[in-house]
């Protein structure tokens, strides 16, 4: 007895619907952007960072006063319509000095982070890819360098090279790249035995191509996060060294040197310390929340 097909009904997903793509495919970086955009705190940090950079570029031009011009007749004036952030003990406009200092502080942070990125990626990538004695020698050298007291190293450099912007960046970069190199080495060690790397070797790809096309691009997530978190660390280090009197030489101004100058006058002229200290905190906060947002967005375990 033949049973008619009309007596049967398919329950659940229809065959033609099952073959449809439920949602469009996303590239890795587009998916990262979408997940980063959902992090409200990270977005706030990015906007805040954009405002700080904007003011660092254009802020000194918003006032008629020069950041280095002395006017002893207007010294220690409180914030007013004429001097928005007040003046210091030499009559210099604190608003102009604050944003001129922002240029120096952010430049130091970004420059130190870029140098750490270049040295750390090269050092850690070579150590992780070569392995064996090369890896052992390179990482033990990094460990020895990391064991040198940082403050002692900075003081020695200041004595030998003299205080200045270049010396400050060199002092931060001598040992600052070690953390980046360790992260890159760990990523390369986990990736170099993957199938696509072995296939590239089989097809005759040389070391430079494997590093540049496969290993480093696939390690960019942790690299970007580490670089983002290196900038506020360098800004804080500059402020700390300036606070100890090892900062930049006049007439250069940074948030650290301004905080150092404003500390003795904190009781009677608090605005001299308040503004540089506030913007140091805001900048470090902005970079940290952006770095945390990037870390969450780049973590594959956070995907839904």
pLDDT in tens, 233-282: 888 888 888 777 777 776 778 888 888 888 888 888 888 888 888 998 89
- Rounded to whole angstroms, the Cα distance separating 181 from 152 reads 22
pLDDT greater than 60 at residue 12: no
Q: Is the pLDDT of residue 198 over 80?
A: yes
> Which of the 8 DSSP states describes residue 205?
-
Q: Report residue 18's pLDDT band, with 50, 70 and 90 as the boundaries.
A: low
Question: What's the CA gap between 183 and 178, in Å, rounded?
Answer: 9
14 assigned to some structural domain? no
Residue 301 in this model has a pLDDT that exceeds 60:
no
Cis peptide before 119 (omega within 30 of 0): no
What's the whole-model pTM score?
0.80
Residue 22 has pLDDT above 80, yes or no: no
Nearest in space to 228 (alpha carbons), one of 288, 297, 183: 288
Predicted local confidence at residue 199, as pLDDT: 85
Distance CA 155, CA 152 (A): 5
The structural domain count of the chain equals 1
What pLDDT does residue 14 have? Answer: 57
- Whether residue 48 has pLDDT greater than 90: yes
Structure tokens, 42: 């990270």
Is the CB of residue 281 less than 8 Å from the CB of residue 273? no
Residue 109 domain-assigned? Answer: yes
- pLDDT surpassing 70 at residue 299: no
Question: In the structure encoding, which two tokens stand for residue 118, read together?
Answer: 């270049």
CATH of the domain at 231: 1.10.3720.10
Structural domain contains residue 292: yes
pLDDT at position 303 is: 56
Alpha helices in the chain (DSSP H): 15-18, 28-37, 40-58, 94-130, 132-146, 150-161, 165-191, 195-202, 207-210, 220-243, 255-262, 271-298
Residue 176 within a domain: yes
> Does residue 62 form part of some domain?
no
Asked if the structure places residue 261 within a domain, the reply is yes
8-state DSSP, 93: B
CB 88 within 8 A of CB 67: no
CB atoms closer than 10 angstroms to residue 120 = 26
- Boundaries of domain holding 292: 36-56+82-302
Q: Specify if 114 maps to a domain.
A: yes
In degrees and rounded to multiples of 5, residue 93 shows phi and psi of: -70, 120
Nearest to 89 by CA among 78, 80, 102, 76: 76
214, part of any domain: yes
């Amino acid at each position: 007895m033949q049973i008619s097909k009309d007596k049967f009904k398919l329950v659940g997903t229809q065959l033609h619907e099952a073959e449809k793509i439920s949602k469009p495919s996303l590239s890795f970086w587009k998916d990262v952007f979408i997940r980063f955009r959902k992090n409200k705190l990270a977005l706030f940090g990015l906007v805040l960072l954009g405002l700080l950079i904007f003011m660092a570029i254009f802020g000194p031009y918003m006032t008629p006063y020069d950041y280095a011009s002395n006017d002893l007749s207007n010294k220690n004036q409180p914030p007013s319509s004429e001097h928005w952030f007040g003046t210091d003990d030499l009559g210099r406009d604190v608003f102009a000095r604050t944003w001129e200092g922002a240029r120096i502080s952010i430049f130091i942070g970004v420059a130190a982070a870029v140098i750490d990125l270049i040295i750390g990626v090269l050092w850690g990538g070579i150590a992780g890819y070569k392995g064996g004695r090369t890896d052992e020698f390179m990482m033990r050298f990094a460990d020895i360098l990391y064991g040198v007291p940082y403050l002692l190293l900075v003081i020695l450099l200041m004595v030998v090279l003299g205080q200045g912007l270049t010396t400050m960046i060199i002092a931060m970069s001598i040992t600052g790249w070690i953390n980046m190199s360790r992260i890159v080495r760990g990523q390369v060690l986990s990736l170099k035995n993957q199938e696509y790397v072995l296939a590239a070797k089989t097809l005759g790809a040389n070391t430079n191509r494997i590093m540049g096309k496969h290993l480093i691009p696939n390690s960019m997530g942790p690299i970007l996060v580490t670089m983002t978190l290196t900038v506020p660390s360098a800004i804080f280090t500059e402020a700390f060294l300036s606070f100890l009197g090892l900062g930049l030489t006049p007439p250069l101004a940074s948030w650290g040197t301004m905080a150092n100058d404003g500390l003795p006058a904190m009781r009677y002229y608090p605005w001299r310390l308040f503004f540089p200290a506030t913007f140091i905190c805001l900048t470090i906060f902005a970079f940290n929340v952006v770095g945390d947002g990037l870390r969450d967005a780049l973590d594959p375990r956070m995907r839904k």
